[in-house]
Amino acid sequence: MAVDGPVLVLDASAFFAGGEALLASCSPDDQLLTTPSAADEVRDAAARCRLELMLERGLRVLAPCPASLAAVSEAAVATGEIDRISSTDREVLALAHEHGAVLVTDDFALQNAARRLGVPCRQIAQRAAAPRRRGYRCAGCRRFGDGPGECPVCGAAFGPVRRRSAGRGARDRTIHK
């Protein structure tokens, strides 16, 4: 496979629905990458055939570096998607971040985390994810916090919530440290 085309990192969903269309839309110059855990998620026969075909066309299976994984975890906490994306999703996003690649996925939570990191996304069979503003809110005093954990004001646990946008009457009750 030539190295002068765009780099595409494939999530496991690329091997399921819409895999034929994705394969047909890739040029011979495209570099295709995925992670070992994403390849392991492919179990049914049709998807396994798509994976084997892409491996023959030059798909490389690589693991991301720890620094990229740390950046992805921070972005997932910041977007409130940490509970929604799996370790495999984090690895795929870290690989895309590390290589400056386009992430190919239909996973909305993964697309939101990628947007936070500045990683471009390409959908397979679904529409693009709408931007979501998520955060963490204290179950006791209802203040917003930076991430999961314990509220420094009342001691109750923070839970993930979808926050209202600033233009619709939301009050800023974020805990400032």
Same domain, 84 and 139: no
- pLDDT average per 10 residues of sequence, the chain (177 residues): 71 77 73 92 88 88 94 82 86 94 87 87 66 73 81 85 53 49
Instruction: Tell me the residue range of the domain where 153 lies.
Output: 134-168
pLDDT in tens, 126-163: 655 455 556 788 888 988 877 778 888 898 888 777 65
63 and 38 share one domain: yes
Which pLDDT belongs to residue 135? 73
Q: Is 35 inside a domain boundary?
A: yes
Cα dihedral sign, 143-146-149-152? negative
Position 58 in a domain: yes
Q: Is residue 17 located within the same domain as residue 89?
A: yes
| Residue-level pLDDT at 28 | 75
Write the DSSP assignment of 17-56 as a string of letters: TTHHHHHHH--TT-EEEE-HHHHHH--SHHHHHHHHHHHH
- One domain for residues 162 and 92: no
Query: Could you tell me if 72 and 111 lie in one domain?
Result: yes
Number of domains present in the structure of the chain = 2
Please report whether residue 129 resides in a domain: no
So what's the pLDDT on residue 19?
A: 64
Co-location of 23 and 91 in the same domain = yes
* 19 in any annotated domain: yes
Nearest to 94 by CA among 114, 115, 124: 114
Q: Give the pLDDT score at 177.
A: 44
As given in the structure block, the two tokens for residue 109 are 């939570």
151 and 108 within one domain: no
Kindly state whether residues 73 and 147 are assigned to the same domain.
no
Whole-structure pTM over 0.85, yes or no? no
- Give residue 169's pLDDT: 45
**One domain, residues 79 and 140:** no
The confidence score (pLDDT) of residue 2 equals 39
- Bridge partners of 135? 161
Residue 128 lies in a domain: no
Last residue of a domain, one of 122, 142, 157: 122
Is residue 1 in some structural domain? no
Q: Give yes or no: residues 87 and 163 share one domain.
A: no
List the CATH number of the domain containing 88.
3.40.50.1010
